[in-house]
Amino acid sequence: MRIVSVQVGKPAQVGEIRTAYGKRPVADAVRVSSGNLEGDGQADPRYHGGPDMAVLAYSADHYPAWRAELDWPLLPFGGFGENLSVEGATEQDACIGDVWRAGSALLQIASPRKPCHKISDYWRRPGLLRLVERSGRTGWYMRVLEPGSLQAGDEIALVERPHPQWTVATAYRVGVARKRDRGAARELARIAALSNRWKAWLVGEPARV
């Protein structure tokens, strides 16, 4: 695995919405703390940010398909609001609880990313959110176990995989179907590495994911 691109951005007014979705690439090393990447921010802390959402990762391997399917050859890395565009990992093989050494930082996958309407709003493509949901190319959130720095081009080492049966794709499907399959939802909610927001959401408690 390898970091292809790193993006950060602060909240800004974009048309009728205030969002930090429009992130820009950073060529130099970026400091990663327990809250986020240096230079990054969130517009709505009800849904974004916090230790279990410190870093948003997205598979760089999805971009060729998106560029073709959307007839959008210049869709840039960071186009899905991610901090890290990662080569060699997708929702089908990355797992909840995976621990990565990226640069000098130690990161852990905390939950799938549940995409929101700002994907469509920012790009002014009304159907894009639904396409992301249907494709399962959602991305995933990571917490920071050890602060450090990272940059584009850094190799990523898989340090630990405690829950190989719980890929990000499987966890996302269980979350979407949580009301229809409460048993699977409860089983996923027992995974220690899963974010507290997702645990609450899976079992029907008030939570914003």
Kindly list the domain boundaries of the chain, sorted by start residue.
Answer: 2-162
pLDDT score for 143: 98
Q: Give the C-alpha separation, 53 to 110, whole Å.
A: 8
pLDDT at 137 over 90: yes
pLDDT (average), residues 89-105 = 98
Per the prediction, the chain carries an average pLDDT of 95
**18 pLDDT band (50/70/90 cuts)?**
confident
pLDDT (average), residues 71-95 = 97
| Per-residue tokens: 156 | 């990523």
pLDDT score for 42: 84
Of 117, 112, 109, the closest CA to residue 44 belongs to: 117
CB 56 within 8 A of CB 139: yes
* CATH fold for the domain made of 2-162: M1 Pyruvate Kinase; Domain 3 (2.40.33)
Residues 140-183: tens digit of each pLDDT: 999 999 999 999 999 999 999 999 999 999 999 999 999 999 99
CB 150 within 8 A of CB 173: no
